[in-house]
Chain A
């Protein structure tokens, strides 16, 4: 059971928009920055969003992050088949003194 809760799967058609939610508590998301990672099949995770809503260099603006209270959201617009991957949210949990990840969300582009 992950400390952060994500939907197991989401799907949408190419060109459409999808959002992935990440729910936590005041000890993690509520008081710390959230990151989002993309893991393509058979590869290492890749940082998509950090500090709630910032993108590393090279990450297209189709990917966006937001946070409100104890929840965070990753948005992906203009979906492409190459976006099919597992997506994870992560943050620091002050009570646990540990990094916590969500259980991951599998994105299917139909």
Chain B
């Protein structure tokens, strides 16, 4: 079964850091570009970041640029999101999503919740 499983969410104080992970199963991660998408409580979807198969191209939303870093380890079939200088407005469910091409996302994880609060 094709699956993505995120982990690493939790409660963190403003200014703190957190590292999210996403492990793929049922397919080879190195065949796909990947995305992180988040959803604040009661709000819509917000794209966070994108990374190509070889990590040669990376994009970030302006709201996280300079604070978040996306990376991947194809040998471990895993994707990561390092989040630094966290703010209250970063509170959301974070999803990793497989890119089927042309930035449409065909496989999503179940999400991991990040809460930034003192």
Contact = CB atoms under 8 A, between A and B. Distances in A.
Interface of A: 2, 32-33, 35, 37, 39, 44-47, 50-51, 56, 86, 88, 90-92, 96-104
B69 interface: no
Interface residues of B, number: 23
Interface centre among A56, A96, A99, A102 (most CB of B within 10 A): A99
A98 B111 contact: no
B76 interface: no
- 9 closest Cβ contacts across the A-B interface? A50-B104, A99-B47, A35-B104, A44-B108, A104-B44, A101-B45, A47-B106, A92-B103, A33-B102
Contact of A45 (B50, B61, B103, B108): B108
Contact of A88 (B45, B60, B110): B45
Contacts of B47: 90, 98-101
The interface residues of chain B, by DSSP majority, are classed as strand
Interface of B: 35, 37, 44-47, 50, 59-62, 95, 97, 100, 102-106, 108-111
Contacts of B106: 47, 50, 56
Given A44-B110, A45-B95, A99-B47, A90 B59 contact: no
B110 to A, nearest CB: 6
A103 B46 CA distance: 9
A102 B50 contact: no
